[in-house]
Amino acid sequence: MACAAYSIRGHLKLAAGHGLASNHLCGGWKPSASCPVSRAWSGNVSSNAVQHVARHYHLTVRNSERWRSIPKASPEDGTAVAEGRMTVLVIGGGGREHALCYALTRSPSCDTVLCAPGNAGIAQSRDAVCISDLDISSSDAVISFCRKRGVGMVVVGPEGPLVAGLANDLVKAGIPTFGPSSEAAALEGSKDFMKRLCDKYNIPTAQYRTFTDPAKAKEYIKDQGAPIVVKADGLAAGKGVVVAMTLDEAFEAIDSMMVDESFGSAGSRVVIEEYLEGEEASFFALVDGENALPLESAQDHKRVGDGDTGPNTGGMGAYSPAPIVTEELKSVIMETIIIPTVKGMAAEGCKFVGVLYAGLMIEKKSGLPKLIEYNVRFGDPECQVLMMRLESDLAQVLLSACRGELGKVSLTWSPEIAMVVVMASEGYPGSYKKGTVIKNIDKAEQVSPAVKIFHAGTALDGDGNLVAVGGRVLGVTAKGKDIEEARFRAYDAVDVVDWPEGFFRRDIGWRALKQEQTANY
């Protein structure tokens, strides 16, 4: 199964009479979350760079055009990409990064995979060499490390370093980096930014209003009624969205975010959206600034409990492909959402290079997609199922994106279904105990050759035991010829893991299973 890239060349269609038509969105954005990097990017500002503050933002504008020309580095600085196999550094230490390391290790063009800081499970599985003492919040430290170790490409996993500008600094230093600039990362770093981009470039999304005054926010909610969605504008570790089914729940969300400051500065501005009814899906595309290459579809399970009940989490499981995303719908998503976004970002002076992760709602009434949110990195746990199915050379594909050459690339995928079941610490997404011992990981992986366990929040204690140190801890992943076989293998492996303090959902994949059963009836 193969897919090719779409080019963004062509005319942009702007929203008629939109007040932001002449306003560069990227230039005025800066993260509302605190993600320190030791040295701010100081790239040259082009003559046509916008020198004013975008509406709603108080901070200094800086040029956001990302320099994508990767120079041939001299032998002494160690950043040259060899004609043969290269060393790749993955930034991050969660389940998403473990999955990326796993796929890169299998890439024919990749010689060595390094992961900073990584985690105990990544190291034990030998999917990467973990560099636990590298300070990834320091651009200088990362650049120095890359030069000493001859790193040919850096892949930035989490959103924090991207929003903080790590990719800006690495690219400026001549190191090929997969991940957007801090300005382009505003697509995830500010929900208001994303919404205004949608307005300007006619990208279908839920109706919304943005507020900085809690009283006015509550007045708007009262006028609109429930159900309604309240979102913290900035980064909130996947927890800044409340789907309020009652007015009281919505008011409580406003108080929590804006008055009690439960998400710090990320909640000082909120976006209030209409409630959309339908089925959610995750859609991913690799982008090199001008070309967009769609990945396979996936569907996440955000709610903590079976039957999609309880609070939202970072994701309790996923499967790929998602039956709801047909080939016809994929074309609609690319043409109405992904390509207009890539064009719009380029027009705003901040070309996007990296992976666009579109959280979509396929509306029940129309059957058409609307954009719920953008992430600017691979999803977690969707990355786990995508990397299990990818058959192409990931290192070469990502390097092509860094070089602006995705137009020459096509991807090959396994036709099998992949599913991941997340095992989390009891109490997540609330408070949870750390340091609980996990046993039988090796036995669980031996249930089937089609099983792989990705580590998200594990470490070794003083006695050498594998222990849980995070909320979402393990991603038990399996492939199968159909959804039933993938589910059986995944849960068979989950049942072998000995971790009394962990929990998981028992119904991952229920929508796909229901659809398959209906089709076969």
For position 174, what pLDDT does the model report?
97
Q: What is the pLDDT of residues 112-127, one digit of tens each?
A: 999 999 999 999 999 9
The pLDDT of residue 51 is above 90: no
For position 468, what pLDDT does the model report?
98
Provide the pLDDT confidence category of residue 14 given band limits of 50, 70 and 90: low
Cα separation of 127 and 502, whole Å?
24
State both tokens at 508: 């991952």
Provide the pLDDT confidence category of residue 54 given band limits of 50, 70 and 90: very low
For position 131, what pLDDT does the model report?
98
Domain ranges in the chain? Answer: 86-180, 207-275, 417-520
Q: What is the pLDDT of residues 63-79, one digit of tens each?
A: 333 434 444 333 333 33
Cα separation of 138 and 135, whole Å?
6
Share of the chain above pLDDT 70, in %: 83
Return all residues near 143 (Cβ < 8 A) that are at least 6 apart. Answer: 169, 170, 173, 175
The number of residues making up the chain comes to 521
Of residues 264 and 75, more confidence is placed in 264
Provide the pLDDT confidence category of residue 235 given band limits of 50, 70 and 90: confident
State both tokens at 113: 């995979």
86-180 under CATH 3.40.50.20, yes or no: yes
End-to-end Cα distance, the chain: 27
Burial class (CB in 10 A: 0-12, 13-18, 19+), 336: middle
Of residues 237 and 299, more confidence is placed in 299
Q: Phi then psi for 161, rounded to 5 degrees?
A: -60, -30
Omega before 323 cis (within 30°)? Answer: no
Q: Determine the average pLDDT of the residues in 81-107.
A: 90
For position 58, what pLDDT does the model report?
27
Cα 197 to Cα 55, 186, 191, 202, 239: the distances in Å are 12, 10, 10, 8, 23
Q: What is the pLDDT of residues 268-288, one digit of tens each?
A: 999 999 999 998 888 999 999
For position 503, what pLDDT does the model report?
98
Topology (CATH level 3) of domain 417-520: Glycinamide Ribonucleotide Synthetase; Chain A, domain 4 (3.90.600)
Provide the pLDDT confidence category of residue 22 given band limits of 50, 70 and 90: very low
**Does pTM surpass 0.75?**
yes
Residue found under tokens 């009652």: 246
Mean model confidence pLDDT for the chain: 86
The pLDDT of residue 363 is above 60: yes
Q: What is the pLDDT of residues 468-507, one digit of tens each?
A: 999 999 999 999 999 999 999 999 999 999 999 999 999 9
The pLDDT of residue 49 is above 50: no
For position 312, what pLDDT does the model report?
84
In 72-200 the beta strands, taken as DSSP E runs, fall at 86-92, 110-117, 129-130, 151-156, 177-178
The CATH homologous superfamily of the domain defined by 207-275: ATP-grasp fold, A domain (3.30.1490.20)
